[in-house]
Amino acid sequence: MRPTVRCVYGLIRSLSQPNLSPQTTAPSILNVSVTSAHNVGLVNRFHSNSKHLISRKLMRNGEERKSVICIEGNIASGKTTCLEYFSKTCNTEVLTEPISKWRNVQGHNPLALMYQDPTRWGLTLQTYVQLTMLDRHLATSSAPVRMLERSIYSAKYIFVENLYKSGKMPEVDFAVLSEWFEWIIQHIHIPVDLIVYLQTSPQTCYERLKQRCREEEKLIPIEYLEAIHQLYEDWLIKRTSFEVPAPVLVISADHDLQKMLHQYEENRERILTARSTS
């Protein structure tokens, strides 16, 4: 067994022990940066109106509980913009994907390595992604509403599946990751109250991806985005691939910033007061 795999396996197993408290990562809190006066006014109205919505306590078994919302979507679908917008909401905590961790594991960049040679490095990256996303789900929070960029579910159902179905992940690697994922889901409670799916065309994602010029993303072809899009559609829209862990709110995200801000405003109550019945 590879050293990295063995260490991660031991840490995941330790999370199920009742006397252990897993270390959690400090969440990344985003700030909104909107330049136009119109958009600033929209954000301010949203911030004021949301205080009343979020002040309602979400209760389970007589005790206050957290509402967990996962923002899902393709690469460059607008997840960061969405999270930045809701981060200004009172009593809402935003946790972004830990990309900085994926870029630097004791001086190594498994994210870049995976894009360069997915067959060799897919298991290495996705093992670490699975661990860090689990850490995000289990992070403690005092805020009644938590918003996560993607989830441990999409890490497996979208990105691991894509590597395997495209022939870039050996069957044995896929089997190992799948068993780990199933063990986590069966032994660790990972609640999700709402999935917000930013439905964006692969062409729009490709254009945005080229504009933001992230180093690791320079090698991503539009065919990759098309494959990711189809996996999201099968999972969250057609529901023909895997079980969906929460209700899904679909927001069309091919629009410009102003239109997207209006859509978030229109859907804010459903998003911020979401809670499952389980």
Q: What are the extents of the domains in the chain?
A: 28-53+65-272
Give me the CATH code for the 28-53+65-272 domain, please: 3.40.50.300
Q: How many angstroms separate the CA atoms of 261 and 271, rounded?
A: 14
* DSSP class of 108: B
Looking at residue 166, its amino acid is S
Instruction: Collect all residues with Cβ–Cβ distance below 8 Å to 196 and sequence separation of at least 6.
Output: 69, 70, 71, 72, 82, 248, 249, 251, 271
CB 142 within 8 A of CB 26: no
Look at residue 43 in the predicted model and tell me its pLDDT: 47
Look at residue 219 in the predicted model and tell me its pLDDT: 79
Q: How many angstroms separate the CA atoms of 131 and 267, rounded?
A: 31
Mean pLDDT by 10 residues, the chain (278 residues): 50 46 36 42 49 40 70 96 90 92 95 93 96 92 92 98 97 97 95 96 94 80 96 97 96 93 91 74
CA nearest neighbour of 69 among 123, 150, 183, 146: 146
From 93, 149, 223, 226, the catalytic residue: 149
Look at residue 55 in the predicted model and tell me its pLDDT: 39
10 Å Cβ neighbour count for 39? Answer: 16
Q: How many angstroms separate the CA atoms of 240 and 136, rounded?
A: 27
Strands 248-252 and 59-60: unpaired
| Active-site residue flag, 207 | no
Look at residue 195 in the predicted model and tell me its pLDDT: 98
Look at residue 59 in the predicted model and tell me its pLDDT: 37
